[in-house]
Amino acid sequence: MLRKFLSAAALFVAILVFLAAPRATAQQSVYRPTPVFCASDPTAADAVRGLCPLLPAYIGPDPAIAKRAFGYAGIRNAPQSAAQDVQTPFDNMAWQTFIALNWRDGASSDPKDGLSAAGPRVWQSWDRVEKVFGGAPVAPTCANPDGLPVYAVASKGKGQPSAHNEEYLQASTNLPLIDVNGNWTVFERRLNAVEVGYLKDPLGKPGVNLTTIAGQNAFISQGGKVYFPASQAPPWSQKYGAIEIKAAWRILDQAKGDDPARYFTQRALLEVSSDLVQGGAQICEPVTLGLVGFHVIQKNAAEGELLDQWIWASFEHVDNAPLAKTPCDPTGPLNPACTVINQPSCGAGAPEEGRRYSYFDPKQASNATNVAPVASSGQTTFAWSSAQPFAGAYQHAPGGLSPQAVRCWKVYSLTEDLNAAWRSELRKANSVFANYMLIGTQWGANVEPEANGYLPLNAVPGLLSNLTLETYIQNNNTNLNSGGGVGSCVGCHSGAPLPVDNFKPPADFSFVLLLADPLAARPAPLRQR
């Protein structure tokens, strides 16, 4: 009798536990995106299931943008299945691209060889923009007995930085970014062979090119319209379109607490033209550079309702900066927490305990965030100090740090889920690239605009900025005279022109064509005290 009573009591307790347990409702999504670690046909018998060096030329099947009489759900609605998930194919392509480009050049297909061993990466064999368009008028001349890779910050003359070599000014605002050690962040750009070939011979006619002003004038006079080559369908073909890369680096210093083992690094010779340096002596200094940002665009093939257009993929190091305490939500619409549109600062950061950030000091958490460096009255440029810290003269606040950067936007939840899966796979290969994350993949939403309150309305997500490359415009939803361009890759690049015919001809979303004019690209207005 007692045994029956105990059995009944146990059953009763079990029922209570079952009833009390949280369960997914019809409105809650239990869907998780599936990582596709290699850009090979997943239906093929010999499909590669793990990380591989295959550079994708196509996003692959995406049911949410297939031809249909209506639009897609976008990223505003929580997908319940892969068929409703428009974004993950783009994000998988972004990760596949990041991994393939950061595979060690000449390595085997073994991830531990390609992603863990030291050496130059695939993208580092591509042409820099100065090789295609010519270098700056005034360039440093340093001896390089060790044959190190050279990062040359050059000028147009009279102390005006040039965009033709490596840079320390961000593209939209022409403002620099200072790290926690007081050094400038340095940027470089690379182009794949498909894009270089098109720039040099866009019409197949002698004398017509897009790398010089004379060549661009000839191109326009013969009816040319800039349209970069796109990759080609069908899926899983490897016929690439034009690709551009912009990378952000900072100088690592173990004596100040940096851990080079957490970064993809390279030993390089940093050169700076004498007219950009306080005191007038050029800088020629071997440094260890750590990769902090990686921005890649590819001209994708048409698929369903998706046009053959550029797709932007933006990656950052996980230690760059904390998320704001009240970040904006990319799924929109505009919410009460996101009250900082068209303002550089998005409030205080929420740093993780014990993490050393590249652009945020938890000890100065009360300082304003995303504040750009300020030049002294009468200065014509942001000058380099002759020794490290190279930006020491522009740090501000007591004990000062500029800009005390924070990330203003959450990463889309499904992108975060996918990041976790990819980074876990990279840790299995003991790869340093497990310390990088996809901030987002942006593409033109010509199928149906994202009516979520953010501008521009022709992109998914509506706004996307890389903290290392677009620190001060993360919240801009329009082009501001005082604050730079819109905080959207698609929105900003949509206005890219050729530097001929009074800058009227469109340049198919690419600003590199401005480099045909040695003086037109990247003017440098200063914010002065």
Q: How far apart are CA 128 and CA 119, in angstroms?
A: 18
Q: How far apart are CA 239 and CA 218, in angstroms?
A: 29
pLDDT bracket for residue 20 (50, 70, 90): very low
Q: What is the pLDDT of residues 282-331, one digit of tens each?
A: 999 999 999 999 999 999 888 777 888 899 999 999 999 999 998 988 88
pLDDT of residue 426: 98
pLDDT, the chain, mean: 85
pLDDT of residue 172: 85
CA dihedral (407, 492, 65, 102) positive or negative: negative
pLDDT of residue 402: 66
Q: How far apart are CA 18 and CA 16, in angstroms?
A: 5
- pLDDT > 70: percent of the chain: 84
Max mean pLDDT range (304-313, 344-353, 502-511): 502-511
Mean pLDDT to the nearest integer, 92-102: 97
pLDDT of residue 73: 64
Mean pLDDT to the nearest integer, 335-358: 84
Q: How far apart are CA 53 and CA 223, in angstroms?
A: 39
- pLDDT > 90: percent of the chain: 61
pLDDT of residue 335: 56
pLDDT of residue 522: 59
Mean pLDDT to the nearest integer, 52-61: 88
pLDDT of residue 495: 87
pLDDT of residue 529: 36
Please give the model's pTM, rounded to 2 decimal places: 0.91
Q: What is the pLDDT of residues 200-219, one digit of tens each?
A: 999 999 999 999 999 999 99
pLDDT bracket for residue 51 (50, 70, 90): very high
Q: How far apart are CA 480 and CA 472, in angstroms?
A: 12
Q: What is the pLDDT of residues 375-434, one digit of tens each?
A: 776 677 899 999 999 998 887 654 556 678 999 999 999 999 999 999 999 999 999 999
Q: Please, which residues bridge with residue 296 across strands?
A: 245, 313
More reliable by pLDDT, 280 or 232: 280
pLDDT bracket for residue 16 (50, 70, 90): very low
Q: Is the pLDDT of residue 512 over 50?
A: yes
Q: What is the pLDDT of residues 124-183, one digit of tens each?
A: 999 999 999 999 999 999 999 999 999 999 999 988 999 999 999 998 888 999 999 999
Q: Is the pLDDT of residue 32 over 90?
A: yes
More reliable by pLDDT, 46 or 507: 507
Q: What is the pLDDT of residues 327-343, one digit of tens each?
A: 988 886 655 567 788 88
Within 8 A by CB and 6+ apart from 33, the residues are: 82, 85, 88, 91, 92, 414, 417, 418, 421
Q: What is the pLDDT of residues 435-473, one digit of tens each?
A: 999 999 998 765 554 444 544 556 788 889 999 999 999
Rg of the chain over all Cα atoms, to the nearest angstrom: 25
